Structure 1
């Protein structure tokens, strides 16, 4: 009699566990974490360096799958963890770390991941410089069409360019991108601490003035803005 009672209670207990709101919450967190670790992850834009393409505070989605099947390409907007060569990461207390852990899981709120967002301009082995006679960035001697750049550094051919003294602060390079690394620039060139912030206006280029992003630090390709709703948009190749 007691054996039968114990046996019959086990399915009942299992049903209670399956129906428990706590169990559903745990499963939802695990599923959400798996999706963000392997498929797509939300981020908050941390600065104005990509304005007006991305504004500070915009919520974006970065596809992890995109770079699982192909390498990052010129024109991609990429999310990457701040490389060590880009400066120390901020220190956080226990409470802030705990809140950030929750934010990393659900995709909203503070995050513990010190992620940056920039546009890929140079891929491994390519040579990037600025400027052409008209003030444009060149990659392997090919002028880039960058209609997404609205706020650029001053450049006036024959008056304030790469041949005048002083040089235009827009000028840099040529910089050759090392194997396994990428050169990134912000769309807001007049206010962007990017790969060549230490190289501008120093032609001929100083040795080791550029800082790059290792492939391992690139998290994903930005595919959409999801918040605020009035800025929601999808990104095609080249932004």
Structure 2
């Protein structure tokens, strides 16, 4: 009795069953996750102290605002437009260019040169101003509680507030957030080049504001991944 030879496996099964095929599949799966679900980023500056420290590796939820929009208190990662005057730091040699690319893809190197992390204070159509008599930021006329703020500008009612001369640098005039835009501030309030950075003077121009755009939002910061002592969820 003769035994029929086993039918050869299809080419696609041979390819996927190989080491290189499985490695390619793993890269594709990771790429899909980073593109559509979650992605690590590196915190580029100290503007979000004490919540986030420079060099923290954070996990960004890319679908957090699917069908919704950020609200006051959310921490977002976004791509800044030209109004932010973010200095570009593009490397010139091939090795540094490759390292930059790996860092942007994995989040365990420098993020993109125009990627920022800030906290949403006002959303489209909301009216934001600072400050009330106690020094709190107002959103649609109501003071918001900001226990996360560190290193705030000096403010003392009747001595250095929004009615004195000079006025407190904490103050900025009332502004309505444009459509598809968000007013964002750093938790390290006096050390952040944020939406209100150029607007904290009595003679600031109407075009001093810079906004995070809806189209530029990468996602919401969900957790600190690294270093391990700071590992934990946010929000």
TM-score, length-scaled by structure 2: 0.90
1:81-230 maps to which residues of 2 (within 5 A)?
81-87=79-85, 89-93=88-92, 94-112=94-112, 114-200=114-200, 202-203=201-202, 205-230=204-229
Task: Structure 1: state its 5+ residue gaps.
Answer: none
Question: Are 2:77 and 2:118, in contact at CA under 8 Å, matched by a contact in 1?
Answer: yes
Structure 2 unmatched runs, 5+: none
- Aligned residues between the structures: 230
Q: Matched residue of 2:66: which SS?
A: helix
CA-to-partner distance for each residue in 1:46-86, whole Å, 9 max, x for gaps? 11000000111111111111111311111100000121211
Inter-CA distance 183–12: structure 2 relative to 1 (3 Å threshold)? closer
Matched, 1:39 2:37: yes
Deviations 1:20-44 (A, max 9, x none): 3222222111111110111111111
- Counterpart contact for 1:154–1:160, Cα < 8 Å: yes
In terms of fraction of residues, the more helix-rich structure is 1
**1:69 and 2:67 correspond:** yes
8 Å CA contact 1:58, 1:227 repeated in 2: yes
Contact conserved, 1:173 with 1:204, CA < 8 A, in 2? no
Residue 22 of structure 1 is matched in structure 2 by 20
Deviation, 1:218, is: 0.6
Q: Is the Cα contact below 8 Å between 2:43 and 2:58 reproduced in 1?
A: yes
Question: Which aligned segments of 4 or more residues in structure 1 are displaced greater than 4 angstroms?
Answer: 12-16
Q: Report the aligned-residue RMSD.
A: 2.1
Instruction: Return the offset for 1:113.
Output: 5.5
TM-score (ref. length: structure 1): 0.89
